[in-house]
Amino acid sequence: MNLDHLPEDCFAHILSFTSPGDVCRCSLVSWSFHTMVDLDSVWEKFLPSDHAEILSRLVCPITYSSNKELFIKLCSPNLIDGGKKMFSIEKSTRKKCYMLSARDVSITWACNPLYWTWRPLLQSRFAEVAELRTIWWLEICGTINTQMLSPKTVYGAYLIAKLADRAYGFDSLPSEVSLEVGNFKSQGTVYLSTRHDQSRKQVAAAADLDHEHFSKRIRASRWRVLEGDHGGGLCERKDGWMEVEIGSFYNEGCANNDVKMSLKEVKGAHLKGGLIVEGIEIRPKI
């Protein structure tokens, strides 16, 4: 059968099972494909089913002349809900991504200027960030409803932050991270200190250098110590921020549950300061 003879609605239905990248590549097959891949009926399949509601929440309205153009613009982060959240579509998967700003999460004692300060930051996508002055009780919590997310998708939640030059107190004890949705709950620990990560790498490098000088028993013992240390660290991003994974979960899409995410360090009595919080990002895991 000549593909050029396919009815338009049939063609659009077939392409809806592919990806935006595949659709663009199909335009090279023939001239008929080239004209059909730009159809609104094709790109409507790639837009979230609630895209009209999302558009109504945009801080800056989007102008577009086609569903393809709308999809492309929604792939870039857009402020919603009065600038407290960020929304985007992941281009390769068509899944929805959100970021809760520091103002949209709960930070214990964030309203007290003795402990936290709010200020604009050029590198941030939001109007302001929260910077920790000094505190011993660190607790950051965020919530998002599963109905806002794409169904049948594995999501990861990440604290987006950075450490100021004056940062201190984060290498003494690990912070506890937890994620809870419905009957599912995950927990873990992570160090919010790059110095801790560097020390771990130095120990690992030393273990490699000692390969020729120590017995297998000693080396095995050393690696058991390293593997038993479940503290992680901040992962550097391309945008200059750091992120730490709070947890991950599978969103079936049929339930109406709140995803509760938290990071806290409340066991140590020592002071901490210099943590700059941009927010919590919820995005699909590939």
pLDDT value at residue 225: 29
Of 14-28, 33-47, 100-114, 158-172, minimum mean pLDDT range = 14-28
- SS3 annotation, 128-183: CEEEECCECCEEEEEEEEHHHCCCCEEEEEEEEEEEEEEEECCCCCCEEEEEEECC
Judged against a pLDDT cut of 70, whether residue 39 lies above it is answered with yes
Where do the H-state alpha helices sit in the chain? 8-15, 20-26, 31-36, 40-43, 51-56, 67-74, 194-209, 216-228
Of 20-24, 83-87, 167-171, minimum mean pLDDT range = 20-24
Of 13-22, 95-104, 205-214, 251-260, minimum mean pLDDT range = 205-214
What are 224-244's pLDDT values in tens digits? 322 333 344 568 999 989 999
Q: 131 near 276, Cβ under 8 Å?
A: yes
Q: What is the pTM of this model?
A: 0.81
pLDDT value at residue 28: 58
Q: Is 165 exposed, middle or buried (0-12, 13-18, 19+ CB in 10 A)?
A: exposed
Judged against a pLDDT cut of 70, whether residue 275 lies above it is answered with yes
What are 105-160's pLDDT values in tens digits? 999 999 999 999 999 999 999 999 999 999 999 999 999 999 999 999 999 999 99
pLDDT value at residue 194: 62
What are 160-193's pLDDT values in tens digits? 999 999 999 998 899 999 999 999 999 999 999 7
Q: 102 near 277, Cβ under 8 Å?
A: yes
Judged against a pLDDT cut of 50, whether residue 258 lies above it is answered with yes
